[in-house]
Each structure stands twice: as structure tokens, then as C-alpha cells.
Amino acid sequence: MDFLNAIILLLNYIFVPALAYGSQLALGAIFVTLIYGILRFANFATGDMMSFGTMFTILFTWYFQSVGIGLGLLPTALLAIPFAIIFMIGYMLLIDKFVFKYYRVNKSPPVQLAMVSIGVMFVTQAVVRIIIGPSDRRFFDGEKFLIKAGEFKDITGLNEGLAIKSTQVITILVTVVLVSTLFWFLNKTKTGKSMRAYSDNEDLALLSGIDPKKIVMITWIIAGILATIGGALYGLDKSFKPFTYFNNMLPIFAAAIVGGIGNPFGAFLGGYVIAFSEILLTYAYKKFFMYVLPESMAPDGLIQLLSTDYKFAVSFSILVIVLLYRPSGIFKGKVL
Amino acid sequence: MRKNLNVIAAYSIMMGLIILVGIFQSWNIALSIFNLCLISAVMTMGANIQWGYAGLINFGIMGYTALGGLAAVLISVNPVQEAWSAGGLNILFSLFLIIGMVLAIRYVLNKYEKSKTRTYIIASIIILGIIIIRFVSEPGIEAIEEVDPAKTGFLGGFGLPIIFSWIVGALFAGGLAFVIGKVALGLRADYLAIATLLISEIVIAIIKHEDWLTRGVKNVIGLKRPAPYEVNLQQTEWFINLVEKFNSSKLSLISDLTERQATLNQFVIEGSSIFVKLCYSGLFLVVVVILLILTQKALYSPWGRMMRAIRDNEEAANAMGKNVVKQHLLIFVLGSAIVGIAGAMLVTQDGLFTPGSYRPMRYTFLIWVMVIVGGSGNNFGAILGGFVVWFLWIEAAPIGLYLVNLTTAGLDDTHFLKVHLIESVPYFRFLMMGMGLLLIMRYRPRGILPEKIEIK
């Protein structure tokens, strides 16, 4: 029984939250990796683009709520996301046309494009804050829990409860659907294959008649979809605050590089690597050992490897280690 | 003279703008803008050495700034005796352990050939070391943090004049840069950018949460000053006389004696804070001028030429027998050390150390905007960038307010759009910075004052 309790404890505090957080990071990391693989620059506006998409989701959610359209048990935001994506794609294409295109056509070095993306970051951040303000916003509605801790205890008769938030399930389901569609698109369709070819060898791809304009446009469209959904899921699960989104850029970068930048599958796994290591290393295992070990050996301390203050630092340290020993990432980069 | 006309013109315009702020807003605001412009100028000089001279991208400026600030705390605060007696030994012992660990790793690195076993040995040394250090330091840390946590709860510093921290800040930042440079400089440009950005976040996390060293988010306030205190100034004879002399024409207009005294008091209070700010300006100006002379000399020396050669074509420079790796490391350390000076100066001016205020937007990306806008590779350009961008950063809100009022003049004062826009005026500074950066990158990619290399 104690053993079961210990497992439920880990599921409740480590596995489920890490899986949801990892999915959110994974979507962002695929976004970073796509931009890097095809447009060839590190996009420092990542976090703010995600907050931009989330902002539209929130605005539409508010609109639907005000006219009384809802999804019942599910959050209204799910209905708002498709509309937000349309606006987000428009914004992405606009930015590309007025900002990034010039440097791409002139074949500027990647560093210059990264600098330009810092300009985009400032502007996007300003627009988001001017439109929706810098404060913390929650836009979740509908049924909050799929399984409540209390109910779980009553049903199973265990000491430990397992609480699963509906946002966590939605996050994981949406991520699975979205990512598998994306991989199907990249691996099976003609456009997807030409994107991979373009990422692999630009000159050769151009020679074989691939239209670069189309590739770039589709990249931005996919990026817009990923950014909006990733941002909205994070906002639903936690809350929306522009500054947090800006900060999320850092673990997202870490995930993309750990997985091997330019490699979407690596980025997808990288998200989970980062999320799990952040939570595993900062979780206090005292209760777990109390269940597993006999009473006489119960630990005194919290058995915490690192204090939760260093949550971010964990992912960055992993990144630094990976960069030093395997600069191309765990799953070798540039094989989009 | 003619060649430098644009430099002189640009700086005159900048000074004119600051003087205008002095006349129309207040001299206090003008001087505080000017002081922060000088600090920003030091930071941009540091970033410019790395990016402009050598083409190294360093997004970790925030980390070095914070380390400079930490130096200011560790140098100027008086040591907390109780804390030292409570846990000082443990901390010192842990320090020795860390040194021992580093030496052991070095020994292993030198003694054995590169192999899997060596990697495992090093990994086990690190893991074992961390565990032992935690056991040694934890009781000490807890004891230290329990010493009067509302006031101290940390070890304190050395109780020296705060000016020394400017040098120590440079050493701290340079030391960190040496470690980072050793491990990360081999990376490609954009990887280096991301790695330095993340490492600076780690530095901030440590400063924020190691309360025994820095007091963390509880902040350290009331640091010593190199300049006189306003309160003391207001009671000194010579200062009151000086203020009286300055304002004699205005004072003589007032006939009533008590009223005259009251006005004089008002002038003295105002004058004292301006005087203090002027003291800081003087100190900062000295630093800026010294650094400017040194960096200019370096730029036109054989060493500067070599750096440019490395920047423009690494392989060619390498083939000519220049040690690229060593020079990169050197310039990375030098630039970061200069940023460290700026960090210490900043804390000196504020008189307080607030780890929570170090954010990448303000201390990394804004500095980069300064360098790019001003003109990378040109020291005068970088300094000008620091001035222009900081000036706009501060004045963006008034300008934004003016623009909002202008464009929504037709709307009612309570109209929701107008109210909303006026509320969001502070964020116009981000918009302005972003647009400025994008426009400069597009139409004047070499900055306001581009790099100019004279071949003599």
C-alpha cells in the first residue's frame, strides 16, 4: 500500500505537471527550431510572439464570454484559439514582409537577423502591453478538475490523492495531435518534404525548383499556429502575464538546443527533458522516502537536491553542459 | 576638425537636449538622466569592445552588471560580526573545499589522457564535492541567515570606501568572464548569445537566492556614499553661502526677511540634491574619460588592428600566427570587466542593491540597442548610443503622453480608448526602442556614428 502511495505521490507532483509543462515547452521549442532550421536565425522574439498569440486568444475568449458562447465543461479559449491563430498568422506574415524579408534577401549573417529579432521583441512586447496591459490574467473557465484529489482518495482508499487538472489533459492531448500532424506534414506531404530539403541544403533545394517564398510563408504559418497554441495552453494552465512569457523564452531555447536545434523531433523531446529535470531536481522527496523506507530510516531533511528558487537555473545548466559536450544537441541538429 | 564634425554635432545636440530637460522639467531630472547616461556609456563601451572590436556576441551583460553591484555591497558594507562568528567558519571551509575541488580537477585534467574514465573521475569529484560542501555549508548558512534577519542576515562586507568596489567589480566580472569564456567561446555566434544569456540568468538566480552573501531579494539599502549627504550639506556654512551667491539676484527681489529666509531654504534643499548629483557626475565623467582614452588608444594600436583582423577574417588572422582563442578570451574578459565597473557605479549611485531589479530587458537588450544604434566599433558612437537611448528611455513616457493627447484630442477625457492609452504610456518606451532599433538596422546598419578606420 505504501508503495502505491509513493507512486501516486510522484505521479501527482512530478509526472503529470512535468508532462503538461513539457508539452508547452515542446511546442515553443518546435517553433524556435523551425525558424532556426528554415529562416536560419535564433528568434529572440519567441516568448513575446507567444504572448501576442495568447493575447488574441484572451480577447476572443472575452468576446465569446460576453455574447454567451461557451463550450460548457471545456474552456471557451479552445473556441477562441482558431480565430486567434488567423490574426497571429497575419501578424507573422506582416513582420516577415516589413522586417525579416529585407535581411533574408540580402543574405545577412544570422547574427544580424538575431539582432533584428530583438527589435521585433521590443515592439511586440510594447504592443501586447499597450493592448492588454502587463498584469496577470486568468482566462480559464469550465470544469477545473478531471479528477479531484479528494474523490481519488475516496475511490481508491489511498492516503495520497491524485489531482488531474482538465487543462493538463487538454494540453497533453492538443500537443499530441498537433505534433503528430506536424510530423506527418513534414515527412509525408510534398510541401513538408520540400521544407526539409530547404532546411538541409538551401542551394540544392532551389536548384530542384522549390519556391523559397512559399517555404518561408508556410514556415511562418506553422510558427504562428505553434506559438498561439503553445502560448494559450500555458496561459490556460497557469496564467497569462507578458513578463512570464518573455522569461519562458529561456527554457524554450534550452529545450530547442538540448534537442539539437533545427530538429523538430529533438525539440519535442527536449521540452520534456527540460521540464522533467527542472521538476525532478527541485522536488522535495521527503514524503516519498517516508512511504518507501521503513519508519526507522525516515529522513529528517526535505531531501531536496536544489531549492525551487533554482528551477530556471537547472534547465540552463543542462543546456550549458549539453552545449559543451555535444554542441549539436542530444539528437544531432539540422535534420529537419 | 572637419572630419570629426559629425561627432561634435551629435554630442552638441545630445547635450542641448539634456540642457533643455533641465530648463523645462528640472535640473534634478536632467542631472539624473545625465548620470545614468554616463553609466550606460561605460556599459556600452564594454559591450562595444566585445562586439565592435572583436565581433563577440555577449548577451550576459546583466550578469556582469549584477556582479559589479555585488562588489559594491561586499566592499562597502560593514562586516556583520555575529554572522561571521555564527557561520563564518563553515563558509570559509566550504570556500577551501571549492578551491580544493578545482585543483583536484585540474590535476586530473593534466595528469591523465582524455578518456572516458577521466570524464567519470571528474564527474564524481564534482558530485562528491557538491554533496560535501552542502553538508558543510548548510548549518553555517542557516546560522548566518538567522542573525537578525530583518536588518542583516548576511555576512556583510569589508567596510571599505565604496569607490574601491569599482575596481573589485571589474575583477569580479572579469573573473566570471574568464570562466565563461573558457567554456563557451568556442561556440558559434548565436549559440554563444543564447549561452551567455542563460548563464547571466543563472548568476542572477544565485545572487537572488543566496541570502547569506547578498541578502537576496531582501535588498541591501543605505550603502556608503562617495559624495556628501544632502542633509549634512544643508547645514554647512559654505554651501548655504554658495547657494545664496548663486541666487542673489532672485533673493534680493524679496524684501520681507522671513520670506527671504524661507526661499533661501528652498534653494538650499534643491541645491543640495543637485550638488550631490554633480559630485557623482564628476566621478563618473572621470571614469568615462579614462576608459575612453584607453579604449581609443587600444583601437588604434597594433593590438586593435589585430582584433579587427580577427573579427573580419578569423581564419586569415589565425594563418598569420595570431592566437585567436587567446585574444577572444582576453577581449571577453576586458569588456566584461568594464561592464562590471558600470554595475558597481550604478549601485554606488543608487545607494542600494536590489537583485530583483536585474532583468535582461533593461540590462542586456537595452545595452545592445545602445551599441547598435550608436555605432558599433566606434567608441564615440557607442557612448553616444548610451546617451541617446537612455535619454529616450526616460523621456519616452512624456513624449508618449504628448502624442496620445495629440492624437486623441477629439475624444472625450473619459473615453475608454483615451483612458486606456494614457494608462499604457509607460510601455511606449519599448515601442520606441524597438522601432528605433529596427529603423537603424535597416537604414543605417552601422549606427549613428559609424566605425571609421584611419590608415596612417
- Closest Cα in chain A, distance from residue B228 (Å): 38
Q: What is the pLDDT of residues A123-140, one digit of tens each?
A: 999 999 999 988 898 888
pTM above 0.95, yes or no: no
Note the pLDDT of residue B454.
62
Q: What is the ipTM of this complex?
A: 0.89
Residue B456 falls inside a structural domain = no
Closest to B304 in 3D by CA, of B331, B277, B272: B331
For residue B205, which residues of chain A lie inside 8 Å, CB to CB?
Answer: 309-310, 312-313
Same-domain pairing of B249 and B116: no
* Those residues with Cβ within 8 angstroms of residue B332's Cβ, 6 or more apart along the chain or in another chain: B50, B54, B56, B58, B177, B178, B180, B181, B185
- Helix, strand, coil % over all residues of chain A, rounded to 5: 75, 5, 20
Q: Is the pLDDT of residue A335 over 50?
A: no
For residues B49 and B123, membership in a common domain is answered with no
Angle, CA A215 vertex, CA A211 and CA A216 arms, to 5°: 115
Per residue in A212-262, pLDDT tens?
999 999 999 999 999 999 999 999 998 999 999 998 998 999 999 888 888
| Beta-bridge mates of residue A74 | A71
| Domain range for A63 | 2-325
A57 assigned to some structural domain: yes
Q: What gap in Å lies between CA B142 and CA B134, rounded to an integer? A: 12
Locate A215 and state its grid cell.
517555404
Q: Are residues B109 and B172 in the same domain?
A: no
Q: Which of A126, A253, A313 sits opposite B205 (nearest CB)?
A: A313
- CA atoms within a 13 Å half-sphere pointing along the CA-CB vector of A290: 12
Identify whether A336 is part of a domain: no
B184: which chain A residues are within 8 Å (Cβ-Cβ)?
320, 323-324
| Enclosing domain of residue B63 | 2-79+156-443
Domain count, chain B: 2
Contacts of A130 in chain B (CB under 8 A): 421, 424, 427-428, 431
Q: How far is A124 from chain B (nearest CA, A)?
A: 8
Pair B362, B88: CB distance under 8 Å: no
Cβ contacts of B361 on chain A, cutoff 8 Å: 125, 246
- Stretches where chain B sits below pLDDT 70 are 1-3, 453-456
Instruction: Give the integer Cα–Cα distance in Å for B61 and B361.
Output: 11
Query: Is the pLDDT score of A276 beyond 90?
Result: yes
The 10s digit of each residue's pLDDT in A15-28 is 999 999 999 999 99
Q: Which candidate from A111, A133, A254 shows the least CB-CB separation from B57?
A: A111
Q: What is the C-alpha separation between A69 and A64, in angstroms, rounded?
A: 5
DSSP B102-140: HHHHHHHHHHS-S-HHHHHHHHHHHHHHHHHHHHHHHHH
Q: Is B214 exposed, middle or buried (0-12, 13-18, 19+ CB in 10 A)?
A: buried
Q: Residue B438 and residue A130: Cβ atoms within 8 Å?
A: no
Q: Does A105 touch chain B (CB under 8 A)?
A: no
In this structure, are B209 and B322 located in the same domain? yes
Judge if B25 and B95 occupy the same domain: no
CB contact under 8 Å between A123 and B434, yes or no, is yes
Do B85 and B32 lie in one domain? The reply is no
A257 interfaces chain B, CB cutoff of 8 Å: yes
* Chosen from B183, B194, B424, B440 to mutate, greatest number of chain A CBs within 10 A: B194
Contacts of B358 in chain A (CB under 8 A): none
| Count of beta carbons in the 10 Å neighbourhood of residue A105 | 9
Does residue B391 lie in a domain region? yes
Q: Is residue A335 part of a domain?
A: no
Closest alpha carbon within chain B to A304: B134
Residue B16 sits in the same domain as residue B50: yes
Residue A334 lies in a domain: no
Show Cβ contacts of residue A261 under 8 Å, excluding neighbours closer than 6 positions.
A32, A33, A36, A37, A267, A329, A333, A334
Which residue of A122, A128, A300 to mutate against B (max B Cβ within 10 Å)? A122
Whichever domain contains A15, its CATH number is: 1.10.3470
For A140: left if phi > 0, alpha if psi spans -120 to 50, otherwise beta; the answer is: beta
Nearest CA in chain B to A40: B190
CB pairs under 8 A, 24+ apart, for A67-76?
A: A70/A141, A70/A142, A71/A142, A72/A142, A73/A142, A73/A143, A73/A166, A74/A142, A74/A143, A74/A166, A74/A170, A75/A139, A75/A140, A75/A141, A75/A142, A75/A166, A75/A167, A75/A170, A75/A236, A76/A141, A76/A142
Total CB pairs under 8 A between chain A and B: 117
- Considering CB atoms only, which of B199, B428, B442 is closest to A126? B428
Q: pLDDT digit string (tens) for A51-94? A: 999 999 999 999 999 998 888 788 889 999 999 999 999 999 99
- Look at the block and give the residue holding cell 560580526: B81
Q: Which three cell numbers stand for residue B284?
A: 563618473
- Residue B122: the pLDDT is 86
Pair B135, B236 in one domain: no
Rounded Cα distance, A257 and B184, in Å:
14
Q: Is residue B451 part of a domain?
A: no
Residue entry with cell 564535492: B129
